């Protein structure tokens, strides 16, 4: 085959590959929501939504040693591949911090707030892997762990604004990834309640990435900045203050930028 013939034959294949990649990029719903845990009895400020389902607070406050991730879709497939990603804020000149192991994951499929006392419990233990540094020159924290997502709301500027609302001034975020192996797949309207062996530093950001891979055509889901988690000293107090309109001023700045 001559050169021109090869060009005519391979170009449509290349274009098809690019089209498939573009379609996958456009079909990554941002529906993995963070909250302060299952069955707390707390409601989102100004509404009747259980806090475990996510309150859209840019980001949502979580405790220092546990969190929950809710799959906010009734039609999503079971996610047999799942990653929890955290970003620990580090000031200028700071070294790589330590991230605690996960010691327990409770799986609710599906989750019924306050009426669901019988989750599937797994105590295997999961260690984090260090992905790298998320700085102002990086596109998003997912890319630090080799994960592709078109959702750009988790950019450095928005993470910095969230940290500044807590009185922090990070130069970068240390990105760690936990791979949920040996855990029941998260199903539609399902929830993971995750417990750590130690405390996460205040200001730590939390996002997730999950995919259904058994169908042969991966369907993946991510977390937007509106529903990400952020470690605060007292989540219940922050939620009450948010309802009174006294905090999250940094989030208002983010909304203007958006």
pLDDT along the chain (258 residues), means of 10: 35 32 55 96 91 96 97 95 98 95 97 84 96 92 90 94 96 98 96 98 98 79 97 87 51 42
Phi, psi of 106 (to 5 degrees): -95, 130
Where in the chain are the domains?
28-257
Structure tokens at 41: 């009895």
Is the full-model pTM beyond 0.75?
yes
Kind of pairing, strands 205-212 and 219-222?
A: antiparallel
- Tell me how far apart the terminal alpha carbons of the chain are, to the nearest angstrom: 53
């Amino acid at each position: 085959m001559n050169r021109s013939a090869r060009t005519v034959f391979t170009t449509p294949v290349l274009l098809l590959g690019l089209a498939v990649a573009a379609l996958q990029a456009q079909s990554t719903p941002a529906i993995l929501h963070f909250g302060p845990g299952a069955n707390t009895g707390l409601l989102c400020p100004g509404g009747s939504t259980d806090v475990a389902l996510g309150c859209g607070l840019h980001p949502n406050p979580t405790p220092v040693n546990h969190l929950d991730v809710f799959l906010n879709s009734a039609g999503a497939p079971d996610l047999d591949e799942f990653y929890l990603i955290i970003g620990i804020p580090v000031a200028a000149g700071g070294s790589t911090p330590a991230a605690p192991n996960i010691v327990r994951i409770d799986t609710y499929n599906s989750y019924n707030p306050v009426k669901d006392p019988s989750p599937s419990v797994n105590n295997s233990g999961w260690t984090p892997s260090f992905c790298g540094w998320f700085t102002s020159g990086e596109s998003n924290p997912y890319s630090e762990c080799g994960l592709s997502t078109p959702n750009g709301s988790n950019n450095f500027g928005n993470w910095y604004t969230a940290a500044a609302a807590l009185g922090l001034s990070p130069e970068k975020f240390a990105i760690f990834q936990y791979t949920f192996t040996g855990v029941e797949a998260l199903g539609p309207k399902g929830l993971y309640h995750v417990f750590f062996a130690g405390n996460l530093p205040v200001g730590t950001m939390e996002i997730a990435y999950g995919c259904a891979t058994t169908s042969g055509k991966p369907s993946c889901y991510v977390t937007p900045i509106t529903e990400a988690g952020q470690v605060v000293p007292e989540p219940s107090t922050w939620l009450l203050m948010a309802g009174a309109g006294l905090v999250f001023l940094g989030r208002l700045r983010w909304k203007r930028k958006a």
